[in-house]
Amino acid sequence: MEDEPFAGIFKESKIFAEREVLSPHYIPQHLLFRDAQINEIVKAMTPILRGEKGRNLFIYGKTGTGKTSCIKHVISKIRDLPTVKARVSYVNCKIYNSRYRVLNKITSDHMPLYAKRGYGIIDIYEHIINWIDEDGKILIVVLDEIDVVKDLDDLVYTLTRANSDIKSGGIAIIGVSNRISFKDDLDPRSRSTLYEKELVFPPYNSTELSTILKDRAEKGFKKEKVDPAAINLAAAMAANESGDARLALMILSKAGELTEERNLSLVTVDSVREAARNAEEELAYELVNTLPEHQRLIVYAIALLSIQGSRYKKLTEGSDTYIFSGEVYSKYAGISESMHKEAKSSRWYRKYISDLEMQGLIQTYESGKGIRGHTKLIKLAYPPEKIRSTIEKTLFKENPESAASV
């Protein structure tokens, strides 16, 4: 009886052939509809691969547009090239989210014994410089989710200014971000050191997503286990939201899991519809946790006001709550003060609102006449209770009682 919960662990799946192929983290041999972007990345890196000091490259695009997959694809090809002096460090900034952690990750990649000795930033920096100078290496530092780094100004300034201290070789940065405006947050001192090329990844359309899903489904599912209409629906749903391939894959994978759990033999449009409701919210909560701190505080303010209700009853109808932008800013400023942080200016606040809308976390509307003049109204795109609890788990994890005071 004790073994019953584990009875099905080693049974062969009736639905899946290679489940990992449906994961957003799986990188296929050929990335569909991204040849142009891969060629642009290679073109930007060509001088570096020749041993010259190249330009920094910044890649932008919404979540699920293939940025990370393309970069990892190119990195894998670079590592296979013979007699190239370029060395690559891929850094996931969600994990390595400070200048010290990034520099230590570089030493761990290329000088692992040194990295374990617990040196400070200056010692690590000088060791990296000396390592590059040994034989004129070019170090390519890929900073994925670069805008998550807490002391980004210091990191950018350190890496770009390092080229002045390197006698032979150099450092090039490849920054990857969902936000095209993230550089606006940088101090002018840091921004002035960047000599960069920019590349924007467009969202996938419905036809492209459908082709991508069909390609993955052929490998990920067993034969004749997926209704073609289910694939097309998953693609259309993701295209309608944001052109997010991760969302499309997650919907299809979850639909397969639902089918298997219910001991059914075919992934249908009904299972896709059910899976979509869960997958979309799951990605949204994941995105919330990777937002820069002040954007998270703004989303938290919107969630709290949505739960508590706007002071202006005429803006609340049914389950939809519309909140004045000024009301959100006041709440955000109050939360910041309670956490002993200085709120950003109203100019920066407007930029953050624009970024949050671009990422699909909020919706904004311009008010009509008769409502305190012309102003912006804001609505959270996901259930506020879940957004609030998601943020509180990370934002207030060290001091959870402070959440009750805001």
Note the pLDDT of residue 405: 57
pLDDT, position 21: 96
For residue 134, the model assigns a pLDDT of: 92
Q: Is pLDDT of 31 > 50?
A: yes
What is the average pLDDT score of the chain?
86
316 versus 390: the higher-pLDDT residue is: 390
What CATH code is carried by the domain that includes residue 96? 3.40.50.300
Q: What pLDDT is stored for residue 1 in this prediction?
A: 45
pLDDT average, residue stretch 298-323 = 74
Which of these three, 157, 174, 200, is where a domain ends?
A: 200
**What digits encode the pLDDT tens for the residues 251-290?**
999 999 999 999 999 999 999 999 998 887 777 787 788 7
Is the residue at 60 inside a domain? Answer: yes
140 within some domain:
yes
Residue 8 banded pLDDT, cuts 50, 70, 90: low
User: With pLDDT > 70 as the criterion, what percentage of the chain qualifies?
Assistant: 89
Strand partners, 365: 377
Overall average pLDDT of the 163-172 stretch: 91
Looking at the fold, whether 103 and 49 belong to one and the same domain comes out as: yes
Q: Are residues 40 and 97 in the same domain?
A: yes
| The model's pTM | 0.78
Query: Which of these, 391, 193, 234, lies nearest to 303 by C-alpha position?
Result: 391
How large is the average pLDDT for residues 188-212?
89
Residue 2: how many CB atoms within 10 A of its CB?
5
**Total tally of structural domains belonging to the chain:** 3
Is it the case that residue 176 has pLDDT exceeding 60? yes
Average of per-residue pLDDT across 369-383: 73
Give the model's pLDDT for residue 288.
86
246 lies in the same domain as 178: no
What per-residue confidence (pLDDT) applies to 304? 94
> Which CATH number does the domain housing residue 374 bear?
1.10.10.10
Buried-exposed string 314-336: b where 16+ CB fall within 10 A, e elsewhere:
ebeeeeebbbbbebbbebbbebb
Q: What pLDDT score was predicted for residue 374?
A: 59
**Domain co-membership, 299 together with 268:** no
pLDDT on residue 192: 78
Identify the pLDDT of residue 371.
53
pLDDT at 402 over 60: no
C-beta neighbour count of 313 within 10 angstroms: 8
Residues 164 and 233 occupy one common structural domain: no
CB-CB neighbours of 78 under 10 Å? 16
Burial of 245 (0-12, 13-18, 19+ CB in 10 A): buried
Q: Which domain holds residue 321?
A: 293-405
State whether residue 141 is helix, strand or coil.
strand
Boundary residue ending a domain (168, 200, 232): 200
Which CA distances in Å does 323 have to 76, 224, 366, 394?
A: 47, 49, 11, 25
pLDDT attached to residue 334 = 94
* Structure tokens, 331: 């709440």
222 shares a domain with 170? no
Residue 39 pLDDT level (bands cut at 50, 70, 90): very high
Contact between 123 and 156 under an 8 Å Cβ cutoff? The reply is no
**Section 365-386 average pLDDT:** 75
CA distance 124 to 286: 32
CA–CA distances in Å: residue 27 to residues 21, 78, 89, 189, 201: 8, 16, 18, 37, 17
Instruction: Please indicate, yes or no, whether residues 194 and 332 belong to a single structural domain of this protein.
Output: no
Q: What CATH number is given to the structural domain containing 267?
A: 1.10.8.60
